[in-house]
A and B are shown apart, each in its own frame.
Chain A
Amino acid sequence: MNKKSKKLKWLLYAILIIYGLVTLFPFSWTVSASFKSYKEITGGGLNLIPKQPTVHAFKKLFMIDPNFLRWIFNSFYICTLGTFINVFLNSMAGYSLARLDFKGKNVIYYGVLISIMVPGQVLLIPNYLIVKSLGLLNSYNAIILPAAVNATYIIMMRQFYINFPKDIEEAANIDGLGRLGTFLRVSMPLAKPAIATQAVFIYLGFWNEFLKPKLYLSDPSKYTLTVGIQSMMSRYSGITQWDEVMAASLISLLPILIIYIFLNKYFMQGIRMDGEK
């Protein structure tokens, strides 16, 4: 029995390690290629460690490329602003649906629920025409505004406030704080875990978004990092500079990786919440 369970343990480890290698293989080549020269990538052998490590690709991106820094800034700007607006509006809406009583609340609640189920493709064309008629084409608002709230997280915040005791808010109310004051100073800070969870996923969503920036932003200096990287493909007469493209991909991964390392807990909570619906 003991021998058998030991064998099983080795098998489990083998599976874990093999899958780990499968996961890491593309990333290790990304890192490797971004420190190689273009010549070494296309000519050289299978060495993962560059023969003559060089930061040439990074230098070119940051110093010569006219737009690369701009793309990083654009991505940060859209993500940060978009996440702030989302967290506030989702929380306010969720709070209202959970705590406040008024006519037509149920209709709105079901409207929010239904809006989760609508596939993006159906909305793509009407949204484009609306954004165009609002005169928002080629602006950051074209990406932020239609995504200013997220129905999934409205429902999540509603759930949070339904399960949350009322006493503290009532105490604040007796102490003379109005509704908005109570919400901003008491209810929001108490919802920190739920807010962190939605913020992480909303940020990730904005950062990785490709279709909308591709559709709405036509001026290369307005591109986000995702669209910018895509535009680097074959831009020199059909030849892709893999060293630069891989370096840019690596840079696009870093901020999310840093957030993930520090806020790992909230990523897992967010998935669990989705998974148990």
Chain B
Amino acid sequence: MKNKRKKHEAIQGIAFLSPAIIVIGIFIMSSIIFALYISFHKVNLFTGYYEFIGLDNYKRIFTDTKTRIAFINILSFVVVVVPIQTIIALIMAAVLNTNIRGKIGFRTIYFLPTLTSSAALTMIFMFLFSLDGPVNKLAVNMNLLSESINFLNNPKFALKVIMSMNIWSTVPFYMTIYLAGLQEVPKSIYEASSVDGANGFQKFIHVTVPQLKPITTFVLLMGIIGTFQMFDQAYIFSGGSGGPENSTLTVALLIYRNAFGQNNTMGFATAMSIMLSIVVFIVSFIAQKLNKSDSLY
């Protein structure tokens, strides 16, 4: 009797799980194996012919000029964007956590960029930075610029526009994570440091920052993973080309171009995607270790 009930429960359990198992099984688990398989082959998309070429795709990653440019672009992107967005998010969370009026109103406004789709967001920033756009006009009117700059087509500025857009749109998300973390910091520590005569700034440096370290690790990891995979903004900004002069070519965009272009480079693109995952994993691991062993505080 008991055995029968157990069997019944097992059938129910599997039945409830089966849709999830099927979707994850096909589109994630078997896809990983499929990806490894593709990465050792030269794929002809039109005939569907797979030719085994061993490690050639992986070797090509180290010699391909565009790949090098894309990796350098995305590394500089991560190095600039992740620290800045983390610091701004931390400061804004600390400011919002003080007992000041109108906090909820400010928080609601700040969250707007996170809700906006990357497509709409990129269009808005392209308008702002266009030749006749408000940023140029404002800068010229205030005599900061002698004449309008074509931010969108100038390789010196294109990636920087995307960087500022990315920081602007991700800060609110991380700020909210920090705000949640601040609720957990015991009030007694702040009180004790007040007794010791610490001012607001000292409390921030000596209490808030060290107390939030686990959350900082999480924010850094999320930031690194997110920025390394940046695609939408780079694609829309350059109309898919990665231009001007490859200055907005990211690894994810290059993977897309190689995978779905005309050049039978799907295997190469897959190898590059596996390489990107390994790089993200290593950088995340280092960031986590660094933040833990950071003995400054």
- Decide whether A and B are members of one complex: yes
Residues in chain A within 8 A of chain B (CB atoms): 4, 8-9, 12-13, 15-16, 19-20, 22-27, 29-30, 33, 41-43, 45-46, 89-90, 92-93, 95-97, 100-103, 105, 108, 111-112, 115, 118-130, 145-146, 148-149, 151, 154, 179, 183, 204, 207-208, 210-211, 214-215, 225-227, 229-230, 233-234, 240, 242, 245-246, 248-249, 252-253, 256-257, 260, 264, 267-268, 271-272, 274-277
Please report which residues of chain B, range 116-147, place their CB below 8 angstroms from some CB of chain A when the two chains form the complex.
116-120, 123-128, 130, 132, 134, 137-138, 141
Residue of B nearest to A90 (CB): B20
Interface centre among A13, A233, A271, by most chain B C-beta atoms within 10 angstroms, is: A271
> B245 in the interface, Cβ–Cβ < 8 Å?
no
**Residues of B contacting A103 in the complex (Cβ-Cβ under 8 angstroms):** 10
**Residues of B contacting A93 in the complex (Cβ-Cβ under 8 angstroms):** 16-17, 19-20
> B12 in the interface, Cβ–Cβ < 8 Å?
yes
In Å, the complex CA distance between A271 and B173 comes to 8
B120 touches A229 (CB 8 A): yes
> B90 in the interface, Cβ–Cβ < 8 Å?
no
> B98 in the interface, Cβ–Cβ < 8 Å?
yes
**Residues of A contacting B53 in the complex (Cβ-Cβ under 8 angstroms):** none
Partner of B21, one of A4, A46, A108, A260: A108
In Å, the complex CA distance between A248 and B232 comes to 18
Q: Ordered nearest first, which 5 A-B pairs have the shortest CB separation?
A: A100-B13, A102-B10, A96-B16, A208-B117, A93-B20
The minimal Cβ–Cβ distance linking B106 to chain A, given in whole angstroms, is 5
The minimal Cβ–Cβ distance linking B280 to chain A, given in whole angstroms, is 6
The minimal Cβ–Cβ distance linking A191 to chain B, given in whole angstroms, is 14
The minimal Cβ–Cβ distance linking A157 to chain B, given in whole angstroms, is 10
Interface centre among A8, A46, A121, by most chain B C-beta atoms within 10 angstroms, is: A121
B92 touches A211 (CB 8 A): no
With A42-B132, A115-B28 given, is the CB distance from A121 to B273 under 8 Å?
yes
With A122-B273, A229-B119, A233-B239 given, is the CB distance from A271 to B177 under 8 Å?
yes
Please report which residues of chain B, range 1-34, place their CB below 8 angstroms from some CB of chain A when the two chains form the complex.
6, 9-10, 12-14, 16-17, 19-21, 23-24, 26-32, 34
A101 touches B127 (CB 8 A): no
Residue of B nearest to A129 (CB): B34
**Residues of B contacting A146 in the complex (Cβ-Cβ under 8 angstroms):** 23, 27
B20 touches A275 (CB 8 A): no
Given contacts A128-B259, A253-B116, A275-B180, 12 further A-B contacts (CB under 8 A): A8-B200, A19-B106, A30-B124, A30-B127, A108-B21, A126-B31, A145-B27, A154-B20, A214-B235, A226-B118, A230-B119, A246-B123
**Residues of A contacting B117 in the complex (Cβ-Cβ under 8 angstroms):** 207-208, 210, 225-226, 252-253, 256
With A102-B9, A242-B127, A275-B215 given, is the CB distance from A46 to B19 under 8 Å?
no
A126 touches B95 (CB 8 A): no
Query: Size of chain B's interface in residues, with CB distance under 8 A?
Result: 87
In Å, the complex CA distance between A274 and B177 comes to 8
Interface centre among B23, B115, B128, B200, by most chain A C-beta atoms within 10 angstroms, is: B23
B119 touches A210 (CB 8 A): yes
B252 touches A121 (CB 8 A): yes
**Residues of B contacting A204 in the complex (Cβ-Cβ under 8 angstroms):** 115
The minimal Cβ–Cβ distance linking A244 to chain B, given in whole angstroms, is 11
> B209 in the interface, Cβ–Cβ < 8 Å?
no
The minimal Cβ–Cβ distance linking B212 to chain A, given in whole angstroms, is 11
Chain B, interface SS category: helix
Residue of A nearest to B14 (CB): A102
In Å, the complex CA distance between A246 and B134 comes to 13
Residue of A nearest to B15 (CB): A96
**Residues of A contacting B280 in the complex (Cβ-Cβ under 8 angstroms):** 119
**Residues of B contacting A148 in the complex (Cβ-Cβ under 8 angstroms):** 19, 23
In Å, the complex CA distance between A122 and B38 comes to 11
**Residues of B contacting A125 in the complex (Cβ-Cβ under 8 angstroms):** 35, 38, 255, 259, 266, 269-270, 273
In Å, the complex CA distance between A118 and B137 comes to 44
**Residues of B contacting A252 in the complex (Cβ-Cβ under 8 angstroms):** 117, 119-120
**Residues of B contacting A111 in the complex (Cβ-Cβ under 8 angstroms):** 24, 29
With A210-B119, A211-B232 given, is the CB distance from A123 to B113 under 8 Å?
no
The minimal Cβ–Cβ distance linking B267 to chain A, given in whole angstroms, is 9
> B190 in the interface, Cβ–Cβ < 8 Å?
no
A122 touches B259 (CB 8 A): no
> B61 in the interface, Cβ–Cβ < 8 Å?
no
**Residues of A contacting B215 in the complex (Cβ-Cβ under 8 angstroms):** 275
With A121-B252, A149-B20 given, is the CB distance from A12 to B28 under 8 Å?
no
